[in-house]
Structure 1
């Protein structure tokens, strides 16, 4: 009876080499899947496919983020390298932007080109992470560490703000006290503040008249928040759609009035006119013309415009 030849040294070495490569391929595949799962790339893929089937009329009735391109790409905000820009809000009355600095508490006014007009120390704030414009010179500032929202008055002569001089509201406990309320925007159409918890991402609404808040905040459905964290919120004044920013996911997402996903852009280098990835996008806002503005830690400014 014929016998099988014993494997040679070369054959065994090739087998071990093939097994080693196979193991490495499995490991790389597992790592790639883990990253894709953590970044919600599978959800982005589904939304990207859905975007392809949107009609021109549907796109026209939305913000439609895929059409935006960066026209100011990472402009430095001078003298704020150690302050950490945390949010951004547009004031339609002054045609300027307001940003809060989280590490060293400041309120900063910028023009629409990202030039600093003035810096106002925020006395008594611990870690301001959110700001929104209510109108008539009123702004709401969220302090993530102390779980407070404060309504302040800012006019042309304001040079400093002291928290003891203004009305404060307790935001209450969060699931993760260290990753609490960070996003805030004023929804003028529905007369309410919209609030966002950083992690796990969640949305809340708090009724008010632009001067005072009434009742208590109510939790909203957050099933569409397929992102690792929530950094900031904004409302498009034209459509009423919500913009949700995630620094960890390098993502800006558009939700309609029902809270459903409409469109998105990846804040990565090579996409939408960005030369480099936005390192940590922490603030977003939009003006009445539909121009988008963002700030990133530590002190970077971005402006996006919709291509014609």
Structure 2
């Protein structure tokens, strides 16, 4: 004789609500796992653990990003709300900063406090995204849309720049032409330019003696350390030779040593490293000979980080 489930609770089927709750929990776990992998939080967690074992000596021989605190937080660059700050570079010659604007192409020279000194229009550039200071007043500018690197020369009297007046180098085809080369940094120790592709993140080197002449061809840097969602900007620390890799999508600044190994990182989320709010879209990073860090974010925000004394 069949058992009536209404009279025998142990014979009832699981409730639909119970099944739905189980499936929703399973879906949430899958989504969280996917988010962890996409944001590379697993890699950051592993690096965070490794950082705990670094000695004071090892920390002192690196940039050591965990010790930095924002002292200028989201300072607006006046009149540039619609220009999209795209990169930042420090000039040891003038002790100033240069930033490139991508939407309306021009250079802007800044003080180390983020005050505007001058604007220099860029004629002939379509979408300048990368900028670095080389030797003797030379600047290298990367146009992401045209896949061209141009080495320009400026001085205190420069009022305007025309791309046709300077040496240009074809950067070639990228895997994703819309997310191509947009990062560049001068490495004075190794006498080379370091170039970065946005997505998928990749780095290349191009040899130079610091002049407007590049030698040979660009060469890809083999690396499995660029576990970032994108690569926005590069900078080379003049004291250690370590490379700083900025990712806007990952809200992360990553330090690599001279062998390309991860050393330390800094999250760009609100509540960390003295930031009141998350940096909206960090597109440029620079470091000076004192180790002070500078950043710009779209649309027109300026940041300065200093190392906490311990």
TM-score, shorter chain, exceeding 0.5: yes
1:284 aligns with 2:289: no
> CA contact under 8 A between 1:229 and 1:247: conserved in structure 2?
yes
Alignment of 1:160-175 (within 5 A): 160-175=160-175
Q: Distance in 2 between matches of 1:27 and 1:254?
A: 35
For the structure 1 residues 19 and 95, does the alpha-carbon distance in structure 2 shift closer, same or farther, using more than 3 Å as the test?
same
Deviation of 1:15 (Å): 2.1
> Could you tell me how far 1:71 is from its partner in structure 2?
0.7
Q: What is the Cα-based RMSD across aligned positions, in Å?
A: 1.6
Q: Distance in 1 between matches of 2:133 and 2:15?
A: 66
**Superposition deviation, residue 125 in structure 1:** 0.2
Report the Cα offset of residue 13 of structure 1.
9.9
Given that residues 254 and 261 in structure 1 are in contact (C-alpha distance below 8 angstroms), is that contact kept between their aligned partners in structure 2? yes
For residues 140-159 of structure 1, what are the structure 2 equivalents within 5 Å? 140-159=140-159
Q: Secondary structure at the match of 1:29?
A: helix
Partner of 1:203: 203
SS at match of 1:178: helix
Matched ranges for 1:1-308 at <5 A: 4-7=3-6, 15-211=15-211, 212-308=213-309
* 1:194-231 deviation digits (Å, cap 9, x = unpaired): 00000111110000011111111011112110101100
Question: Residues 215-264 of structure 1: CA distance to partner in whole angstroms, max 9, x if unpaired?
Answer: 11011112110101100000011000000000111110000000000000
Q: State the distance in 1 between where 2:103 and 2:7 align.
A: 66
What is the rounded CA distance, in whole Å, between the counterparts of 2:137 and 2:7 in structure 1? 84
Q: Shift of the alpha carbon at 1:29?
A: 1.3
State the shift of 1:19 in Å.
1.7
- Seen in structure 2, the aligned counterparts of structure 1 residues 9 and 104 have a Cα distance that, compared at 3 Å, is farther
Distance across 1 between alignment mates of 2:28 and 2:9: 27
**Do the aligned residues in 2 keep the contact of 1:107 with 1:119 (CA within 8 Å)?**
yes
Unmatched 5+ stretches in structure 2: none
Cα offset, 1:164, TM superposition:
0.9
TM-score (norm 1): 0.96
For the 8 Å contact 1:234–1:286, the answer to whether it is kept is yes
Cα contact 1:201–1:222 (8 A) shared by 2: no
State the distance in 1 between where 2:84 and 2:248 align: 13
Q: Residue 135 of structure 1 aligns to a residue in which SS?
A: coil
**Structure 1 residues 176 and 9: CA distance shift in structure 2, 3 A:** farther
* Farther-moved stretch of structure 1 (17-26 vs 150-159): 17-26
1:305–1:10 CA distance, 2 compared to 1 (3 A): farther
1:16 positional shift:
1.9
**Corresponding residue pairs, total:** 307
Tell me if the contact between 1:70 and 1:304 (Cα under 8 Å) persists in the aligned partners: yes
Asked if the contact 1:85–1:102 (Cα under 8 Å) also holds between the matched residues in 2, the reply is yes
Query: What's the TM-score once normalised by structure 2's chain length?
Result: 0.96
C-alpha distance in 1 between matches for 2:7 and 2:227: 54
Taking the aligned partners of 1:221 and 1:9, their CA distance within structure 2 comes to 67
Q: What are the superposed Cα offsets for residues 54-78 of structure 1, whole Å, 9 maximum, x if unpaired?
A: 1111011000000001111111011
CA–CA separation in structure 2 for the residues paired with 1:37 and 1:134: 37
Question: What displacement does 1:8 show?
Answer: 7.0
Q: Secondary structure at the match of 2:26?
A: helix
Q: Unpaired runs of 5+ in structure 1?
A: none
Contact 1:62-1:239 within 8 A present in 2 as well? yes
